[in-house]
Chain A
């Protein structure tokens, strides 16, 4: 068993036992929704319906109902696409990368982060399909054998790479998420009292019995899928960035894009996880599992990735100047001082300035402040994509084609619709799925809960690492004065690792 120092802050609070965890996680699924849930659900449903109407109008009439023109061929559509894909990055990072790095704090948040990923990628996927002039032919971007001669897709096109990147990402995330859900569905199945509920969750849990063999396979598959998903965390947004980076348009043609987009994606993804979880932990009473410590860790990720994004912005400006390419220089001058200056400075303020507050321990452990910053970051990252897409396109090489873009009610309606759709899915998930990976979370009850830490203290086991001479001397003095049952210490350079057990 993983042993953890009692000094380290616990990841499960309030003396939760294994049974308490089962009860807490099953409660939202077994109970009835309160009126807040219904209010939010209906509100989201209306937004979704409005968006669906706008989407149907677009498909029926033509992309001309959007604000696009001959110069700005992409605007809110691809901005929203990249925004949603970016949001979808935190889920896989938390579930796969943090699994490989054995970060136990992921256990309380990975289920919901993965759900968010999948729902966000669903929203993202709508845009590349519906931004097409003829969306009913969207399947032509798939390399399907056909009877049109030897018509094949164009493997040179970054849009085609997107098709593969996004569909792979969605598939792997979905499988990873579902696999993790199996033991938890089985838990709900075993507790179900109504025959229909039992039937549904029996099908969902694939006959999980909790045998050691099942667990062994579960663990193995977790690692395999984490290994598969980890490169995807980097590859998906790298490929999305190549839509721009491989082009010839000043402001798009930038080699820094892949790492910059990946950092931005993780940044926005964690912000969205914060937005959702801060509400969820309150509504379904998960404060004991999604603790301030979890929030703080995520804030640190936001601060680091936000700073990477900030460095990327400044690097872009420097390179524009240093390159001596007048088109490139004008593109960045136009971003900062041109007609869309407000979008550029909104992006700078939200993405570079605001995460710097997280250096302060007091602010990054404040729930209200975290929630505020998470919204600010989401807004900032939307503006980032808008700035990259629209301000690069609207004034590129030949001034005769320069023009402006302004959204129509359809552009806005579809965006609002995807937010509604996202929340419809998330709210349904929160009432029917175990929102925390309880089976996995239970593995740290013995090591990382307040209860386990008290147990360790009451048995008078001290485990710690000392690196200060005075502290080591004091510890050795204490050891001499007490009658201990067993004592073990390892001296390693200036560190002393000490395990004491006394009556």
Chain B
């Protein structure tokens, strides 16, 4: 997958699409306040600060004061914002995979980071060791639970659930699967039609919901694919590249035209 930060407007349609596609539970205000959102995909926002390395050097600020000042967003007209959608990076050298004692999260031959819900015992070690913090834990049973009377607690709400995706029970970890149900369906359709999978046959819910086209999904080993071209773009970079997690998600850095 490639995400272009130039065209991302931060509208949040991808988050909603992901929730709807993958039966991601809605947990309510109380749980959100406890930092227990279940978003498989989130949009990080970065605000520019008036404090810069040069300014700190000129003013002779200590590093503690510099970092504290950097934490405050600029109040002036020159405030700049970056929207940064973050989902599971499907690292090829994934910190989460090595630490699971029961091997519930493993790497597929297609380069996906799999999550086997029914193998997961819920130690949360994978989430702790994820530098992107994209793993989400089912703290409670969110379906059939009066405490979470949003949509998975009544018959009508349950009709909205995607039948191709399992509803997770409590105590298991979950995270972005790159809509593996869509990948599997596209593969099976191609097999039935006795053809190879074409670029554009598969799309993730987030990418199809994105109206600015900033999310591109595909097979990066297919040199004719759009995502391959994006991955070779001079703007392409990996999130926290220095950790050498070798993610499967590329970001296209934001370019600004300014003085």
* A401 and B133 contact, Cβ closer than 8 Å, known pairs A62-B140, A62-B141: yes
**With a CB–CB cut-off of 8 A, which chain A residues contact B99?**
156-159, 246-247
Interface residues of B in 2-27 (CB under 8 A from A): none
Which residue of B37, B67, B136, B139 contacts A68 across the interface (Cβ within 8 Å)?
Answer: B139
Stretch at the interface among A49-57, A91-99, A391-399, A410-418: A391-399
* A64 and B36 contact, Cβ closer than 8 Å, known pairs A133-B120, A134-B172: yes
Interface residues of B in 114-159 (CB under 8 A from A): 119-125, 127-129, 131-133, 135-141
Bound form: Cα–Cα A73–B45 in Å: 23
Bound form: Cα–Cα A156–B240 in Å: 23
Q: B interface, by DSSP: helix, strand, loop or mixed?
A: loop
A138 close to B (CB within 8 Å): yes
Is B139's CB under 8 angstroms from A62's CB?
yes
Nearest CB of chain B from residue A112's CB, rounded to whole Å: 33
Interface residues of A in 145-177 (CB under 8 A from B): 151-154, 156-160, 163
Can you name the residue of chain B whose Cβ is closest to the Cβ of A330?
A: B67
Nearest CB of chain B from residue A251's CB, rounded to whole Å: 12
Is A398's CB under 8 angstroms from B172's CB?
no
**With a CB–CB cut-off of 8 A, which chain A residues contact B123?**
128, 131-133, 159
Nearest CB of chain A from residue B112's CB, rounded to whole Å: 18
**With a CB–CB cut-off of 8 A, which chain B residues contact A159?**
99-101, 123, 125
**With a CB–CB cut-off of 8 A, which chain A residues contact B31?**
64
**With a CB–CB cut-off of 8 A, which chain B residues contact A68?**
124, 137, 139
A356 close to B (CB within 8 Å): no
Can you name the residue of chain A whose Cβ is closest to the Cβ of B128?
A: A73
**With a CB–CB cut-off of 8 A, which chain B residues contact A403?**
35
**With a CB–CB cut-off of 8 A, which chain A residues contact B169?**
134
**With a CB–CB cut-off of 8 A, which chain A residues contact B124?**
68, 73-74, 131, 133
A61 close to B (CB within 8 Å): yes
A71 close to B (CB within 8 Å): yes
Is B138's CB under 8 angstroms from A70's CB?
no
**With a CB–CB cut-off of 8 A, which chain B residues contact A246?**
98-99
Is B171's CB under 8 angstroms from A133's CB?
yes
Is B103's CB under 8 angstroms from A152's CB?
yes
A25 close to B (CB within 8 Å): no
Is B139's CB under 8 angstroms from A64's CB?
yes
Bound form: Cα–Cα A163–B99 in Å: 13
Which residue of B35, B100, B243 contacts A71 across the interface (Cβ within 8 Å)?
Answer: B35
Task: Give me the interface of B with A, judged by CB distance under 8 Å.
Answer: 31, 34-37, 42, 44-45, 63-64, 67, 86, 95, 98-103, 119-125, 127-129, 131-133, 135-141, 169-173, 239-240, 243, 245
Q: List 5 interface pairs A-B (beta carbons < 8 Å), by A numbering.
A: A69-B36, A133-B122, A151-B119, A154-B103, A333-B67
New A-B pairs, 14, CB < 8 Å, besides A70-B36, A70-B133, A140-B102: A62-B139, A63-B122, A64-B31, A64-B36, A68-B124, A70-B35, A71-B133, A138-B121, A141-B101, A141-B121, A153-B102, A156-B99, A157-B100, A249-B128
